[in-house]
Structure 1
Amino acid sequence: MTTAVHHEIEGPADGPVVVLSNSIGSTLHMWDPQVKPLVDNGFRVVRYDTRGHGRSPVPDGPYGIDDLGGDVLALLDTLGVESAHFVGLSLGGMTGLWLAENAPQRIRGLVVCCTSAQPGNTQMWLDRVKQVRADGMGPIADGSIGRWFTQSWIDANPRQAKELRDMTANTPAEGYASCCQAIADLDLVPELPKITAPTLVIAGAQDKALPPDHGRVIADGVHGARFEVVDQAAHLGNYEQPARFSELIIEHLKEAA
Structure 2
Amino acid sequence: MSTLPRTGHAVAADGTRLAYQWHGTGRPLVLLAGQANDHTWWNRTRGDFPSTITMDYRGTGASDAPDVPYSTTLFADDVLAVLDGLGVAEADVYGTSMGGRVAQWFAARHPGRVRRLVLGCTSPGGAHGVERTNDVRLALAKRHSAEAREALEDMMYTPAWRAANPGPYTVLGAHGMPPHAVRGHLVASNTHDAWDVLPRITAPTLVLHGDDDVLAPPANAPLLTGRIPGARMHVFAGARHAYFDECRPESSVLVREFLG
The aligned counterpart of 1:35 is 46
Offset of residue 122 of structure 1? 8.6
Deviations 1:162-186 (A, max 9, x none): 4437x52725133221011112222
The aligned counterpart of 1:193 is 199
1 or 2, which has the higher helix percentage?
1
1:21 aligns with 2:44: no
Deviations 1:152-207 (A, max 9, x none): 2122222x1x4437x52725133221011112222111211111011000001221
Offset of residue 64 of structure 1? 1.2
Structure 1 alignment gaps of length 5 or more: none
Select which of 81, 89, 95 maps to 2:102: 95
Select which of 200, 212, 235 maps to 2:218: 212
1:178/1:22 CA distance change after superposition, 3 Å = same
For 1:230 and 1:215, locate their aligned partners in 2 and report how far apart those are by CA, in whole Å.
11
Q: 2:121 corresponds to which letter in structure 1?
A: C
Q: 2:45 corresponds to which letter in structure 1?
A: Q
1:244/1:128 CA distance change after superposition, 3 Å = same
SS at match of 2:149: helix
The aligned counterpart of 1:225 is 231
1:169/1:18 CA distance change after superposition, 3 Å = closer
SS at match of 1:247: helix
Aligned residues: 242
1:175/1:120 CA distance change after superposition, 3 Å = farther
For 2:156 and 2:181, locate their aligned partners in 1 and report how far apart those are by CA, in whole Å.
19
For 1:147 and 1:252, locate their aligned partners in 2 and report how far apart those are by CA, in whole Å.
27
Residues 116 and 205, structure 2, Cα contact 8 Å, conserved in 1? yes
1:155 aligns with 2:163: yes
> How is 1:158-173 mapped onto 2 (pairs within 5 angstroms)?
158=166, 160=167, 162-164=168-170, 167-168=172-173, 170-172=175-177, 173=179
Offset of residue 45 of structure 1? 0.9
For 2:31 and 2:184, locate their aligned partners in 1 and report how far apart those are by CA, in whole Å.
21
Q: TM-score, normalised by structure 1?
A: 0.85
SS at match of 2:203: coil
Moved over 6 A (4+): none
For 1:3 and 1:93, locate their aligned partners in 2 and report how far apart those are by CA, in whole Å.
22
Percent sequence identity over matched residues? 29
For 1:168 and 1:84, locate their aligned partners in 2 and report how far apart those are by CA, in whole Å.
26
Q: 2:154 corresponds to which letter in structure 1?
A: G
Aligned-CA RMSD value: 2.4
Offset of residue 223 of structure 1? 0.8
Q: 1:87 corresponds to which letter in structure 2?
A: Y
1:196/1:127 CA distance change after superposition, 3 Å = closer
For 1:120 and 1:205, locate their aligned partners in 2 and report how far apart those are by CA, in whole Å.
14
Structure 2 alignment gaps of length 5 or more: 1-13
The aligned counterpart of 1:9 is 22
Offset of residue 125 of structure 1? 9.3
Residues 130 and 220, structure 2, Cα contact 8 Å, conserved in 1? no
For 1:155 and 1:202, locate their aligned partners in 2 and report how far apart those are by CA, in whole Å.
24
Residues 122 and 184, structure 1, Cα contact 8 Å, conserved in 2? no
